[in-house]
Structure 1
Amino acid sequence: MQKHHGQIVETLIRKKGFSITALAHHSDVSRSMVYQWFNKEKLNAEIIQRIGRIIDHDFSQEFPEYFSKQTNNVYDHRSREVLRSNQSRVNVWKDKYINLLEQYVQLLSE
């Protein structure tokens, strides 16, 4: 039985609780393209490795045919660090927005 690459990748993304929107944004593709990846039985190594860097997952266990022994030992976590810093910036702006909304509601009620 042949493994379905798209389903394996989708399962791991959802298990990690990673947003499809965030994955699409950081992959520079549309959400519909991400869903097309999920439906593909065979994904190329570049897509799998790119998704792995974004969601901070080493796919060498699931797809050993796409990873050489040298690649298995060296895994780049820099992409995930960029995501974390971007997410913290988003949270700062979201908090400011919520504070402004609360102040606005309070002014309206007075």
Structure 2
Amino acid sequence: MELNAGEIVELAVRRKNVNISELSRRLHVNRRTLYNWFRQKKLHADVICEIGKVIDYDFSNDFEDEFKQFMPKEDLMVLNSDHRFSPPDSVYYWMEKYIALLEDYKRLVRKGPL
């Protein structure tokens, strides 16, 4: 039996022994949203990346097809390797930068107009 995307993410969260309340707080979503994501057959790659970053888990092996749409195949192989010491010209380095920018953007949007 093949697991759906939400089940794969939930399994990683449970294996990492991450508290759901803490995860929801760090992702700035409520717990119900997390549980809804865990039931989804498909999840957007941004959601998967955000959760992976928070729980310190690399989902690129679990969701190769989802990440293929964002990067060429040879760059995906860089993601699958050990990326803790990635140089600035690696894909993982720029993916982390992109995620950080998305998080900053979300914080600005939540603040509302000036």
- What's the TM-score once normalised by structure 1's chain length? 0.62
The residue aligned with 1:55 is 55
Letter aligned with residue 75 of structure 2? Q
After the TM superposition, which residues 3-82 of structure 1 pair with which residues of structure 2 at under 5 Å, given as runs? Answer: 3-67=3-67, 68=71, 69-70=74-75, 72=79, 73=83, 74=92, 76=96
Stretches of structure 1 lacking an aligned partner (at least 5 in a row): 80-110
How many residues are treated as equivalent by the alignment?
Answer: 77
Q: CA 1:11/1:31 → structure 2, altered by over 3 Å: closer, same or farther?
A: same
Distance in 1 of aligned mates of 2:31 and 2:15: 18
Write the deviation string for residues 56-106 of structure 1: whole angstroms up to 9, x where unpaired.
Answer: 011000001232353615264xx8xxxxxxxxxxxxxxxxxxxxxxxxxxx
Distance in 1 of aligned mates of 2:16 and 2:47: 18
RMSD over aligned Cα, in angstroms? 2.0
Stretches of structure 2 lacking an aligned partner (at least 5 in a row): 84-91, 101-114
Distance in 1 of aligned mates of 2:60 and 2:22: 23
Letter aligned with residue 36 of structure 2? Q
Give identity over the alignment, percent: 36
**Secondary structure of the structure 2 residue equivalent to 1:49:** helix
Runs (4+) of structure 1 moved beyond 4 Å? none
Pick the structure with more helix per residue: 1
Distance in 1 of aligned mates of 2:56 and 2:66: 17
